Structure formats: C-alpha cells, structure tokens
Amino acid sequence: MNAIWDGLDRVLDDAHDVAPVDAVAHGVHLLAARRWRAQGRPVPIEWLAGERAATVLALTFPVLLARIRAALDGPIILLKGPEVAAHYPDPALRAYGDLDILVPDAAAAQRQLVAAGFIELIDYEIAHQQHPLMWRGMQLLIEVHNFPSWLRWMTPPSNERLFEIAAPSATGVCGIDTLPRPEHALLMAAHSWRHTPLRRLIDLVDVAVMADGLSPDCLADLAAEWGLGPVWATTVQTIDALFIDPSRRSLPLRTWARHLPAVRDRTVVEKHVTYWIGGFWAPTPMAKMKATAALVGDDLSPLRGEPWRSKMTRIGRAARHAFDRATPRSRDD
Amino acid sequence: MSFRVPDHVHHRGVHGEVVILDTKTDRYLGLNSSGAVIWEALVNGGSPADAADRVAERFVVSKDVAQHDVDALVQDLVRLRLLEPAQM
C-alpha cells in the first residue's frame, strides 16, 4: 500500500507547481495538501476549504447511513465514496460528494426515504439512479441506484449477483453492506471509464487502493468475466506506470492521457476525443464499433429534454474553447 | 468540574480546528485554533482551569484572559448541549 502513496507523492512532486484547481479536478487536492504540509509548503486556500469539507463529510455520512438503514427494509450496498475512503490512510483524505447506495427496489426505496424525511432534488434523469436526495442541513447527497454506474456501452453485473456476494461495509455502520474488494475495484474502474478513459488521478488511486494485495490474475479473470478485460488491463498498466515503476511509461501516458502525470485538467477537445475513443476498449471488434458509434452519438446529442438549439450553442462554445480547461462536471455529475 | 461529550454529538479535528456535529439538531459548529485547544482539553477529562493553562501557554496570553475565554466557551457549549457535566 505504501507504494501507492509514495508513487502519488512522486507524481505530485514531478508535476511542478500543480495548479490548485487542477489538483481539485483530479480529486487529489486533499492528498496534495498533506504532501505540501510534509514539505513545509503553504497549502492553497482551495485545498484548505476541501479539507474542512472532507471533515464535515466524515462526520456526516455515518449519521445519514444510519438514518437510511432505519428507513429501509432489506439489504443496502454502499458503493464508492466513503466505502473506498475507509481504505485510505485517513478517510478524510478522499473527497466525495454523495452517498451511492444500491438496493433491490430503487423506486420503492426512494419513496420510503422521502416518507422518512429525505428531500428529493428534481434533476435531469439518469438511467442508473433515482433523483438525488438530501437531508435538510446535512452536506451530503444520497443517490439510490437502479443499478451500478457502468460503462455506457455495457450491461453491468446483475443486482442479484451483487447482493449474493455483498459483505459488511468497511465503514463500520451497522447493517450496511458493500461489495468485496475485487468486485469493488472493478466497479471503480468501470465507473471512471463511464465518464472518460483514465479520467483522473483519484480514480486510479481508488482502483489501486481497492486492488492492493489482491491476486492480479484473479482480478484479470474477474474483469474478463465482466467484459472489462481491456479496460482493466489499461487501468492496471497505467497505475503501474504512474505509481509503481515510472520507467514503464505506457502509450496512453505518452499520448492521450498526458494530463495524468502533468496533474492538469484535460482540455475541452481532449475530453471529448477521449470520450469517443472509449469504445475501443470493448471486448470484441463488433462491440468496439457499436460502442464507439453509441458514444459519439451520445456526446453529440442533446441531453434529455434539451432543445437542439441549446445543444448547438454548447457545441459552438466547446469549439471556441477547444484548448481551454474542460469543466469538472461530466454529463451526468 | 469535568465534562463529557453527549452521545448525540460527533466531533473531528482538522489541522488545528474542530468540527462538531449535533445529530439531534443536524447543526454543525466549527471551533478555531484556540477553541480547538479548549475542546481537546475538556473532552480528554481536563477541567476549565486545565484548558485555560493550555490556552495561556499556547497563545501567550495571561491566565485571566484565557480563563475568561474558556468560561465563555464552556457556557456556550453547555447551553448548546454539545458538552455536559461528567457523571461523578
């Protein structure tokens, strides 16, 4: 495990003058703050604010999970966020903005939580989850999943299978389950690639943390079983090249993923191009073609309910700012 | 007199400050560096006088000034039910 943190420290050091906003875009600002303090460097105010926010979240999530547990019957699987943070040296080093839970009947659970006092925030529709919920005054959203957030061109593992293998959460909140670490590592990779391939540094740290100490062959076999073979191979190769052995510089890090070792946000054009090429990591040639066509079509189409005029305006703005920093929000953040 | 943190109050330090969450009211409270020194002294079994000693030493103020500030904060924390007298 130490190799991951030493490797990330080396990436941060080698990047030279990491812009505060870029560290935030990569989700590593809390880890960078720790590194800057160890080196006697002043910590940017943006990161100080992030540290306070992370402390608030560390206090908040157990309380919210306990209220969710009290409101719902049946199993609850906690995904990502605080579950992954529980495997960090200090959970407050991992920022997150919501609690993702998977339940057998998401629509029914949503109604039960609203009846219990949670407030539903009406947002644009996302296939894999209900509208976000919040508890008045508490700084964390809750997302009840219909199924796990997954690559758009694939079907995720069945909920039945995930509930079969669920294990107690590492957060220690009573009655809350999670996925075993191998499956959770793959889920983190799939979720990251849903947005763009090799999206940001914290995604790779998460995968490395969850996969730490596990058999690489077993993880590769499970990835192949879930249709994630090529995605997993590229993810692991990138983690090795970034954090473990920089002499193993990978093709992605030398080309379309240079934003990772540079600890900078992708440009607008980089973001869209890497989104389109994500389909190349589908497991078969036919699947690659279908996935690429789906991703390009998805990116060029309006959001649900958005007029074409609005979409064309956004396309024009993206073209004019093609080489500017991409915004941190993805289409379904 | 010593104090304890009620079960419904959760707290966590962050680089010399303290964040407190009251789960009965769902309200958050932040304590700055001097407040954090007082809080840590009290929740670890110290008396207000012990807390004042730590503040005086840490922030180079007179014991009287420190004691006044400690007493004021303790009064607020008890009023907000974030601290309560420890059972003897």
> Is the confidence at residue B21, as pLDDT, over 90?
yes
- Span B19-25, mean pLDDT? 96
Least trusted range by pLDDT, from A5-9, A44-48, A157-161, A246-250? A246-250
**pLDDT tens, A2-35?**
899 999 999 999 987 899 999 999 999 999 999 9
Cα separation values, B43 from A207, A231, B5, B9, B24, Å: 38, 49, 7, 12, 19
Which one, of A110, A109, A122, A153, lies nearest residue A293 by Cα? A153
Substitution target in B8, B26, B32 with the highest count of A β-carbons within 10 Å is B26
B 21-80 residues with CB < 8 A to A? 21, 23, 26-28, 30
Q: Is the pLDDT of residue A236 over 60?
A: yes
Tens-digit pLDDT profile for residues B28-42: 999 999 999 999 999
For the stretch A36-48, pLDDT in tens is 999 999 999 999 9
> CB contact, 8 Å: A55 with chain B?
yes
In angstroms, rounded to a whole number, what is the distance separating the alpha carbons of residues A328 and A56?
22
Q: How confident is the model at residue A330 (pLDDT cuts 50, 70, 90)?
A: very low
What percentage of residues in chain B have a pLDDT greater than 90? 93
Work out the angle at residue B9's Cα, subtended by the Cα atoms of residues B4 and B14, and round it to the nearest 5 degrees.
95
Residue A172 DSSP symbol: -
Buried b (16+ CB within 10 A) or exposed e, B63-86: eeebbebbeebbeebeeeebbeee
Q: What is the value of pTM for the model shown?
A: 0.90
Q: Does pLDDT of B87 surpass 80?
A: no
Between residues A237 and B1, the one the model is more confident about: A237
Whether A333 has a pLDDT exceeding 70, the answer reads: no
pLDDT tens-place string over residues A106-149: 999 999 999 999 999 987 667 778 899 999 989 899 999 989 98
Phi, psi of A21 (to 5 degrees): -70, -30
Span B10-16, average pLDDT: 94
Strands (E), B23-86: 27-31, 84-85
Instruction: Please check the confidence at residue A251 and state whether its pLDDT lies above 70.
Output: yes
Partner residue opposite A63 with nearest CB, options B13, B19, B23 = B23
**Which residues neighbour A225 within 8 Å (Cβ) at sequence distance 6 or greater?**
none
Chain mean position to CA A61? 18
| Closest residue on chain A to B17 (Cα) | A52
pLDDT over 80 at A255, yes or no:
yes
* Spatial separation of the C-alpha atoms in residues A241 and A219, rounded to whole Å: 18
Contacts with B, A 108-147, CB within 8 Å: 135-139
CA Rg value for chain B: 12
Q: Which residue has the higher pLDDT, A123 or A182?
A: A182
Look at B14 and A136 and tell me if their CB atoms are within 8 Å. no
Q: Of all residues in chain A, what percent are helix, strand and coil, respectively (each to 5)?
A: 55, 10, 40
- Note the pLDDT of residue A124: 66
So what's the ipTM on this one?
A: 0.90
DSSP A281: G
Predicted confidence band of residue A246 (pLDDT cuts 50, 70, 90)? confident
Q: Under a CB-based contact definition with an 8 Å cutoff, are residues A198 and A237 in contact?
A: no
